[in-house]
Amino acid sequence: MPATNRFSAYLVSKDEKGACHGEVRTDLALDQLPAGELLIRVECSSINYKDALSATGNPGVTKQYPHIPGIDAVGTVEADQSGRFRPGAPVIVTGYRFGMDHWGGFAQYVRIPAEWAVPLPAGLSPVESMRLGTAGFTAALAVDAILTRERHRAGGPVLVTGATGGVAMVAIALLAKLGCPVTAITRKEAARGRLRQLGAQEVLTPEQLETSDKPLLKERWSGVVDTIGGAGLEYLLKTTAAGGVVTTCGMAAGNTFSASVFPFILRGVSLAGIDSAAQPAGNRERIWGLLAGEWKVDLEPICSEIGLDGINGCVREILAGTHVGRTVVKL
Ligand SMILES: NC(=O)c1ccc[n+]([C@@H]2O[C@H](COP(=O)([O-])OP(=O)(O)OC[C@H]3O[C@@H](n4cnc5c(N)ncnc54)[C@H](OP(=O)(O)O)[C@@H]3O)[C@@H](O)[C@H]2O)c1
C-alpha cells in the first residue's frame, strides 16, 4: 500500500465540448478506485485497440468520464476481501468490464471483483503475460476455435488479416509454433519481412486478393483469424475450404458485412465469434495455461515498452492504423 495513499495513473477527462483528453496524474487516491474485493498493485498493462477507443471517448466502450482505460493488468494482490487470493499472489486481469466502464490497468493500483482475476500461470513472467494481454488471449481463443472445430484437418493455410496488429501478430506466432502454414494479409508493404520472420509463409496485401461476385471461390484456407471485420468477411467465407472455420473478433475495417448462405450450406464452413471479455473462469485459466506452456511464444521481437506518458502517442498510432505489434505499459 503506498504510504501516502496516492498513486499515478493515466486519467481521461471529457471537456465541456465533449472532447477527451488523457493525462498522467500522480495525485489519485486509493479511495477513488471503484468498489471491488480485490486490490492489486499493478506491475504492467498493455495497449489494445479498445483502449484507444476508450481514451478517445467512444461511447460503445466507455460512457462515464473521468476514466482510467487499460483492459489488461498484471500485478500482485495487496488485499482480497473474498479470500480467493493471498496477499502477494501474482494475478492477471483481462476482460469483463475492466478498463471499459470500470477503471482499468493504466494505473499503479486497481480494485476489481475477485472473479475477474486469474492466477499468473507458472511459466509466464508478468511482462510476458502483458506482451500477450487481451490481444494474445484473443488470438489463442481464435486458434483454439480453429483447431477444435475445423473438420477435415486438410492442413491448408490459415489466413490472418490485419496482420501487423496485436491479435494478428500473436496469432501468426502461435499458428507457426503449432505447425500450421500461415498466410498473412497486411496493408503495410514494409512489414512483409517482419511477418515472415514471425512465421508467416506468405504475405499478401488486400489488393492481391481476388474479387468476384461469384458466391463461392477457390477453396484456399482451412481457417481464418479475421481481426478487421467489415465487407471483407464475405471474401473470407467464399474462399474458406470445406469444413473450415472463420473466426471473427474485430472491426477496424467495419462492423457489417453481407454474405450468401452458400459457404455454410455447400461447404460446411463455420463462422465462429470470439468474445474474450465474457470467457468463463475455467476457460480463461485453460487458455492462459496453454499460453504459458505448450503454446508459449517469444513475443519480445514484436513488443515495445512505454510508461504512462507514452500512452497518448500509442493511442494516436492505433487509431491511425500505423501501430505495429504489442506495446506493454510499465507502471
Ligand atoms: N472480440 C474480442 O474479444 C476482441 C479482443 C481483442 C481485440 N479485439 C478487436 O480485434 C481487432 C484487432 O485488435 P488489435 O488489438 O490487434 O488492434 P491493432 O493492434 O490496432 O491492430 C489492428 C490491425 O488492423 C488493421 N487495420 C487497422 N485499421 C484498419 C482499417 N481501417 N481497415 C483495414 N484494416 C485496418 C491494421 O493491420 P494492417 O495494417 O497490417 O493491415 C492494424 O494493425 C480490434 O477491432 C479489436 O477491437 C476483439
Q: Give bridge partners of residue 13 from the DSSP assignment.
A: 21
What whole-number percentage of the chain has pLDDT above 90? 92
pLDDT at 283: 95
pLDDT at residue number 156: 82
Q: 0.75 exceeded by the pTM?
A: yes
Burial class (CB in 10 A: 0-12, 13-18, 19+), 215: middle
Residue 268 grid cell: 460446411
pLDDT at 1 over 80: no
What b/e string do you get for 227-260 counting C-beta neighbours within 10 Å, with b at 16 or more?
bbbbebbebbbbbbbebbbbbbbbebbeeebebe
User: Of the residues 45, 46, 49, 172, which should be mutated to test ligand 1's pocket, given the most ligand atoms within 8 Å of the CB?
Assistant: 49
pLDDT, tens digit, 9 for 90 and up, residues 95-138: 999 999 999 999 999 999 999 999 999 999 999 999 999 999 99
pLDDT of residue 153: 59
**pLDDT over 80 (residue 150):** no
Please state, in angstroms and rounded to a whole number, the distance separating the CA atoms of residues 330 and 306: 6
CA of 320 to the centre of ligand 1 (A): 11
Q: Given the CA of residue 229, which atom of ligand 1 is nearest to it?
A: 45
Give yes or no for residue 57 having a pLDDT over 90: yes
166: confidence class by pLDDT, cuts 50, 70, 90: very high
Output the CA angle 153-157-160, nearest 5 degrees: 120
pLDDT tens per residue, range 282-298: 999 999 999 999 999 99
> Mean of the per-residue pLDDT values for the chain?
95
| pLDDT of amino acid 149 | 81
Which atom, in ligand 1's list, is nearest to the CA of 184? 40
Q: How confident is the model at residue 151 (pLDDT cuts 50, 70, 90)?
A: low
Instruction: Choose the residue to mutate in 228, 318, 328 for probing ligand 1, maximizing ligand atoms within 8 Å of C-beta.
Output: 228
pLDDT at 302 (0 to 100): 92
Cα–Cα nearest to 203, from 172, 171, 228, 177: 172
Q: In the structure, which protein residues have their CB atom closer than 6 angstroms to any atom of ligand 1?
A: 48-50, 134-135, 138, 162-168, 186-188, 227-228, 249-253, 274-277, 318, 321, 323
Taking only the tens place, the pLDDT of each residue in 212-270 is 899 999 999 999 999 999 999 999 999 999 999 999 999 989 999 999 999 999 999 99
pLDDT at 210: 84
